[in-house]
Amino acid sequence: MFDLSIFCGTSEEPRSYLHTPWIERGGVAATDGHVMVFVESPQMVSGDVKDTTPKAMIGKMDKFLDLEFSGNAHPLSGIDIPKLKCPMCEGSRFLVSTICEDCNGEGEFQHGAHWYSCQECEGDGKNHVAADKGSTNSALCPYCSGIGIKKFADSDPYVKIGEVYVAPNILTRVNTLPNAVLYVGDDPGGSVTFRFDGGRGVLMPLDMRRIKK
Ligand SMILES: [Zn+2]
Ligand SMILES: [Zn+2]
């Protein structure tokens, strides 16, 4: 079974229609705007799936779903992907959160006429500890929306495949798909198609002109 929630927009994504996979062309599509995955059989997808294409996405997927697999084939199993875990849940995808005792969950203190952010909880009002799935009072990590992978920052390592550069958080997710193979052409800015047992997808490489090292 495929869990496509890791390919959806996180809770920080303002386009709420990207938070859930949806039925598209008789299969199921999911995207966060950086990587798109399409599974041919809805029976192979677990979890929430919207039964119609979101209005804003109608007709938008065709150009990606019709892309040819062209360029050089790069099986993902042969690519070294830096492991960048979410710093909050340490990759476990779950957190146990407790009210901060230093500030009683307020996240700040008043001293005289001024307010100060609580150092202990960094103003959050709660302390978070990485947890295993199913442990008491654990919840999906809100920082990574339960993906377990650190969001890409310009200072993170990236992966060069042929002529393109790809963020490790995209590759880590695509690598959960069975026997994924990327197809990389000569255009460093061109979208990269991939296929896996049961479906296909497209990812956007990093724009190296705007990566500040
Ligand atoms: Zn997390
Ligand atoms: Zn606190």
Q: What is the C-alpha to C-alpha distance for residues 213 and 208, in angstroms, rounded to an integer?
A: 10
pLDDT value of position 189: 85
User: 73: which DSSP letter?
Assistant: E
CA of 11 to the centre of ligand 1 (A): 12
CA of 141 to the centre of ligand 2 (A): 19
Please tell me the pTM assigned to this model. Answer: 0.79
Q: Would you place residue 124 in the very low, low, confident or very high pLDDT band (cuts 50, 70, 90)?
A: confident
User: 174: which DSSP letter?
Assistant: H
CA of 94 to the centre of ligand 2 (A): 20
* Neighbouring residues of the ion ligand 2, judged by CB less than 5 Å: 100, 102-103, 118, 120-121
pLDDT value of position 137: 81
Q: Would you place residue 24 in the very low, low, confident or very high pLDDT band (cuts 50, 70, 90)?
A: very high
Percentage of the chain with pLDDT > 90?
50
pLDDT value of position 91: 87
Q: What is the C-alpha to C-alpha distance for residues 91 and 147, in angstroms, rounded to an integer?
A: 8
Per DSSP, the residues of 91-137 read TSSEEEEEE-TTTTT-SEEEETTEEEE-TTTTTSSEEEEEE-TT-TT
Stronger pLDDT, 42 or 144, i.e. the higher one: 42
Q: Which ligand is closest to the CA of 129, given by its number?
A: 1
Q: Would you place residue 212 in the very low, low, confident or very high pLDDT band (cuts 50, 70, 90)?
A: low
Q: Which ligand is closest to the CA of 118, given by its number?
A: 2
Query: Mean pLDDT throughout 97-121?
Result: 91
Q: Which ligand is closest to the CA of 11, given by its number?
A: 1
89-105 pLDDT tens trace: 998 888 998 999 999 99
The alpha carbon of 35 is separated from its chain's Cα centroid by a whole number of angstroms, namely: 8
Percentage of the chain with pLDDT > 70?
99
Q: What is the C-alpha to C-alpha distance for residues 52 and 186, in angstroms, rounded to an integer?
A: 36
On whether the CB atoms of residues 141 and 91 are closer than 8 A, the answer is no
pLDDT value of position 93: 85
pLDDT value of position 142: 76
